[in-house]
């Protein structure tokens, strides 16, 4: 799945939400989150983000690996 990392924090442009064909991008308090169980890996959201916050999980830069875990946590509780 694709993952939204640090650059989204307090920017929350939301262009990605409009591009997602399965509506799997959800709002958190300071950034948005992609539900890994719903993302179909289409890649449409990645170029839509003006701050390049989105990338495929296996291409997330090492210093942003925490965001993959944070993302999983966001969807692990109701």
Binding interface with ligand SF4 (CB under 6 A): 2, 19-20, 22, 24-25, 34, 39-45
Closest by Cα among 76, 77, 59, 57 to 68: 57
- Min separation Cβ 57 and ligand SF4, Å: 10
- Min separation Cβ 50 and ligand SF4, Å: 15
Side-chain half-sphere exposure of 75, counting CA atoms within 13 A: 17
Instruction: Give CA–CA dist 41/66, Å, rounded.
Output: 20
Q: Which is nearer to ligand SF4, 23 or 66 (CB)?
A: 23
User: What residues make contact with ligand F3S under the rule CB under 6 A?
Assistant: 4, 8, 11-16, 32, 48-49, 51, 53-54
């Amino acid at each position: 799945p694709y993952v939204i990392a640090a650059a989204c924090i307090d920017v929350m442009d939301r262009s990605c939400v409009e591009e997602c064909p399965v509506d799997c991008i959800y709002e958190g308090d300071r950034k948005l989150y992609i539900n890994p169980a719903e993302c179909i890996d289409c890649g449409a959201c990645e170029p839509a983000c003006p701050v390049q916050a989105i990338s495929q999980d296996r291409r997330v830069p090492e210093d942003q690996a925490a965001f993959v875990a944070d993302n999983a946590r966001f969807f692990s509780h109701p």
